[in-house]
Structures are given as structure tokens and as C-alpha cells.
């Protein structure tokens, strides 16, 4: 098997929280044994409801959070035992685009300095050529060189996200973690940013971990898809297989919520019963069983493994066969 660009192996992350001053501390299991692989030039879409742990996975991959267990391997090398030089190379090769295009930019810095800062940190471009390189990056993402001395508040939301993309591209990364990069933007602007990311992937040979809750966006950009629920991966496989023949009831519910031009194009909207469980007190057995229309008594006591249902298509469900009866 070809060595992936990056692999997360059984990664876990917990937080200690105290819901109120009058209650004892509790353990919140944000990520529970997640394993993911991203190849060279590949986009993996990570989808799920808000609060399922998607962004935490992205931060663990970036090293912004430290995992409680598991391993992160970049080009086969375990980052836990990496040398200083290997860590520096990792920080250069793996960059992040954040969800909020305004709070992720320093309001006191001019755009040219924001985009040029990674070049200075990694010593990639001589100071006398840095401004020229910044202008090239701005034009690459659809901004103009004349905007180089402006401040972030002088740009629209879509333009600010382009600044964030240019900053991520400055060090010529191999992998970009895009954490809900279009969720804060208007629909028309979302399409422009998605098309830009797709074009950059093709022209620069980039890999993406694309985190989103909107499966229609994930479908447009991804090669493979992983669906996350309550800190766990419940289904993963090639994009077309996930959308054509899903193997988990949660994926079915998410897909039913994707808007369609005419109702005849798919099944009716599935309304899940109950509220999403809290990760402070997850259900026993399958985490999805309290809301699952196909659940049987075994689902409340036995947690299904993530296993291959079809070639390259994995799901964690005891009764995947019921979905296409």
C-alpha cells in the first residue's frame, strides 16, 4: 500500500469540563479513536453536525492540540518522535485555513504583512523579494497587488478568506486543513471560494482535509468522504460510493437534508428523533442508536466496529443492509 501523505491512527482527545460551579468536573471525549488517511493530491471531506469533533480533529492534525493517544504520521514519520528539523518541515508543509475570515487575521497588520509573515518566519524569500512574492500570491487568489497596503477591515468576508488562503499558500504547503472555510460566507461567495480551492488543488497539486457540515459542498470538492458522529468516524469511503450507496443511517439522514431542485430527485427529508446526545454522557453501544430508525436491542449494548461493507467503503453499523432493503 502506498504511504499516505498524512495518517491519523486511533487518535483520541478528551477535555475536562465543569458544566457549572455547583457540579463536579466531567470528561468530554471530543475525539474517540479516529483514524484517517490522506494521499498526495487528494481531498478528504470530513462531515458531520456541529459539535461532533471535526474541528478538534483538524487541530490535532495541525499540532494545535496534543492528542491523548494514537499517532500522527507525516509521510510515514511519527510526529511524536520527530526531530526539530522534521517538526519545522511539518509546520511548513501543513497549513490551515480558518472558519472565521476576520478573527483569523490580525486587524493591526496590513494585508501584505499578513501574507508575508510566513515567508519571514520560515526564511523562504529574501526580504528584498518578499513584497513581489506577496503580490504574486494575492493575484493567485483573486486579489489585486494594489490592495497590499490595506487592512483586513477594508475587505469583504470573501476577500478576507482569500487573504487567509494566500497566507496558507505562502510557504508552498503540501496539505491544507480547511476548517469550515465557507460557512461564514454568503452562498454566492461560497461558490467562488470552493472553485478557487478546487483550482488551486489542480494547479499546485495540493491535498486537503476539508471540514464541513454541508454535504453538498463536501461532494463538490472531495475525493473521499468521512462522516463523523459524537467523536467517532461512522462511515468513510469514496465520494461517489458515499452519495450513491451510503452504509450508515446517520449518513442517510445528512444526505436527505441536502437541498434538491425537485422533490423527485431523492428521498424525503429524514427528521431524526430526539436531540443529539452530549459527549459528556454518551449513550452505550452505538452512539447513534437513540436517534436511529433502524435500531434494535443489540445497538444499545454493542458498539459496532468500523468495518468494510463494500470495497474501500467502511461503516460502523450492525444493520447497514437495512438501508437498501
CB proximity list for 222: less than 8 A, separation 6 or greater: 43, 44, 45, 210, 239
The predicted model gives 301-324 an average pLDDT of 92
Cβ–Cβ under 8 Å, residues 97 and 179: yes
Q: Determine the 3-state secondary structure of 239 from DSSP.
A: helix
In this prediction, residue 80 carries a pLDDT of 86
Of the pLDDT bands very low, low, confident and very high (cuts 50, 70, 90), residue 123 is confident
Distance CA 217, CA 222 (A): 9
Classify residue 65 by burial, with Cβ atoms within 10 Å: 0-12, 13-18, 19+: middle
Question: Residue 291: which of 271, 266, 306 has the closest Cα?
Answer: 271
Residue-range domain boundaries for the chain: 238-260+267-324
Q: Are strands 6-17 and 26-38 parallel, antiparallel or unpaired?
A: antiparallel
Distance CA 138, CA 151 (A): 14
In this prediction, residue 261 carries a pLDDT of 62
Of all residues in the chain, what percent carry a pLDDT higher than 90?
A: 68
Cα distances (Å, whole numbers) of residue 20 to 23, 26, 52, 103: 6, 11, 22, 28
Distance CA 187, CA 181 (A): 12
- Name the strands in the sheet holding 26-38, side by side, starting at the edge strand that comes first in the sequence: 26-38, 6-17, 69-74, 77-78
Tens digit of pLDDT for each residue in 177-233?
Answer: 999 998 878 888 999 999 999 999 999 999 999 999 888 889 989 999 999 999 999
Given a cut of 70, whether residue 289 has pLDDT beyond it is: yes
Of the pLDDT bands very low, low, confident and very high (cuts 50, 70, 90), residue 24 is confident
Residue the block writes with cell 513584497: 131
Given a cut of 70, whether residue 148 has pLDDT beyond it is: yes
In this prediction, residue 278 carries a pLDDT of 85
DSSP state of 79: G
In this prediction, residue 320 carries a pLDDT of 92
In this prediction, residue 42 carries a pLDDT of 96
In this prediction, residue 236 carries a pLDDT of 97
In this prediction, residue 43 carries a pLDDT of 97
DSSP E strand boundaries for the chain: 6-17, 26-38, 43-47, 69-74, 77-78, 94-97, 175-179, 207-212, 224-229, 232-238, 307-310, 313-315
Torsion of CA 10, 16, 17, 22, to 10 degrees: 140
In this prediction, residue 18 carries a pLDDT of 84
Cβ–Cβ under 8 Å, residues 279 and 231: yes
Of the pLDDT bands very low, low, confident and very high (cuts 50, 70, 90), residue 245 is very high
Task: Indicate the pTM of the whole model.
Answer: 0.92
Please indicate whether residue 21 or residue 221 has the higher confidence score (pLDDT). 221
CB proximity list for 306: less than 8 A, separation 6 or greater: 35, 232, 233, 234, 236, 314, 315, 316
Tens digit of pLDDT for each residue in 260-286?
Answer: 666 555 567 787 877 788 888 889 999
In this prediction, residue 225 carries a pLDDT of 97
Cβ–Cβ under 8 Å, residues 225 and 47: yes
In this prediction, residue 127 carries a pLDDT of 87
In this prediction, residue 287 carries a pLDDT of 93
Tens digit of pLDDT for each residue in 130-146?
Answer: 999 999 999 999 999 99
Distance CA 47, CA 54 (A): 7
Amino acid at each position: 500500500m502506498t504511504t499516505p501523505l498524512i495518517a491519523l491512527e486511533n487518535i483520541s482527545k478528551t477535555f475536562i469540563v465543569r458544566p457549572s460551579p455547583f457540579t463536579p468536573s466531567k470528561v468530554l471525549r471530543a475525539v474517540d479513536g479516529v483514524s484517517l488517511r490522506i494521499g498526495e493530491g487528494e481531498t478528504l471531506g470530513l462531515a458531520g453536525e456541529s459539535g461532533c469533533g471535526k474541528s478538534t480533529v483538524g487541530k490535532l492534525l495541525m499540532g494545535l492540540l496534543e492528542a491523548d493517544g494514537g499517532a500522527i504520521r507525516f509521510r510515514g514519520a511519527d510526529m511524536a518522535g520527530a526531530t526539530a528539523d522534521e517538526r519545522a518541515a511539518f509546520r511548513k508543509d501543513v497549513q490551515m485555513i480558518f472558519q472565521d475570515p476576520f478573527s483569523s487575521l490580525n486587524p493591526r497588520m496590513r494585508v501584505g504583512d499578513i501574507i508575508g509573515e510566513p515567508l519571514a518566519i520560515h526564511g523562504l524569500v529574501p526580504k528584498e523579494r518578499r513584497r513581489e512574492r506577496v503580490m504574486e500570491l494575492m493575484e493567485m487568489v483573486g486579489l489585486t497587488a494594489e490592495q497590499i497596503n490595506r487592512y483586513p477591515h477594508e475587505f469583504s468576508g470573501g476577500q478576507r478568506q482569500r487573504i487567509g488562503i494566500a497566507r496558507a499558500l505562502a510557504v508552498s504547503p503540501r496539505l491544507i486543513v480547511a476548517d469550515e472555510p465557507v460557512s461564514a460566507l454568503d452562498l454566492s461567495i461560497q461558490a467562488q471560494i470552493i472553485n478557487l480551492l478546487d483550482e488551486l488543488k489542480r494547479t499546485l497539486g495540493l491535498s486537503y482535509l476539508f471540514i464541513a457540515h454541508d454535504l453538498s459542498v463536501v461532494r463538490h470538492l472531495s475525493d473521499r468522504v468521512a462522516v463523523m458522529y459524537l467523536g467517532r468516524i461512522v462511515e468513510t469511503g469514496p465520494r461517489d460510493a458515499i452519495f450513491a450507496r451510503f452504509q450508515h443511517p446517520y449518513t442517510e439522514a445528512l444526505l436527505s437534508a441536502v437541498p434538491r431542485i425537485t422533490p423527485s430527485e431523492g428521498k424525503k427529508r429524514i427528521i431524526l428523533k430526539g436531540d443529539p446526545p452530549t459527549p459528556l454522557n454518551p449513550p452505550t453501544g452505538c452512539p447513534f442508536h437513540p436517534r436511529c430508525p433502524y435500531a434494535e436491542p443489540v445497538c444499545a449494548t454493542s458498539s459496532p466496529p468500523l468495518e468494510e461493507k463494500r470495497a474501500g467503503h467502511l461503516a460502523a453499523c450492525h444493520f447497514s443492509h437495512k438501508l437498501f432493503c
